[in-house]
Amino acid sequence: MLGKEPRLHVVYLNVLFKTHAFKSVLIFDQITHFIMQIALLICRSLFFVFLVSAANTQAETETYIADPEHTFVYWGVTHFGTSTVRGRFDRTSGEIRLDRQARTGTVQVEIDIASISSGIELFDKKLRSEQFFDAETFPKANFIGTQFKYSAEKLTEVVGELTLRGKTNPLTLTAKNFNCYNSPLAKKEVCGGDFEASFSRGQFGINYGWPFVSDTVKLQIQIEAFKESP
């Protein structure tokens, strides 16, 4: 009987070892499974955040198409140092792209030069001629604003460039008013306002009549734009 005891000890140790090894493997498998579940949960969460972030990014920038019945460009120049000769361009088009949360945006306004109107037809023909705007050679003028500046919640400036008679120069519009509202007639959101600027017409090669007609041209831009449907 005594000779069998060492064998029993060996068997017991083997059983004990295998039992602990099995438990270790089982615990390791459980830990691995738990870690994989946590990793999968994190990946799903990050993917969801990515989708939400992408959706928000797309939704933040909104496009508004200019309403031609409420979008006009007015101009004025001093005549012989006395009164101011004024007029406007009757046909314009454009769009506003606005991210109100980020306070960024762009604006583009295209002007049909042939639509210039001073109220005096003979003068309008002169303005369309080569001596002034040369509407036949340069039928369009463009303002492209690429930077919106704010003071607190208020839009104050739009920084961009004006292209006129084939020449492009910097131009900054001062926002006198800017607002968005829901139109009860159009059933759409509308954004727009009044903007002012001034520039030297000589920079664009329009020198006729100087100094009797001022080199400084004052602009007033009225724009309202409908929010584009998704």
Of residues 19 and 144, more confidently modeled: 144
pLDDT per residue as tens digits for the range 98-128 = 998 899 999 999 999 999 999 999 999 999 9
The backbone torsions φ and ψ at residue 214, rounded to the nearest 5 degrees and listed phi first, read: -55, 145
Neighbours of 172 (CB within 10 A): 17
pLDDT per residue as tens digits for the range 53-87 = 444 445 489 999 999 999 999 999 999 999 999 99
Q: pTM (2 decimals)?
A: 0.72
Query: What pLDDT, on the 0 to 100 scale, is given for residue 16?
Result: 46
7 class by beta-carbon count within 10 Å (0-12 exposed, 13-18 middle, 19+ buried): exposed
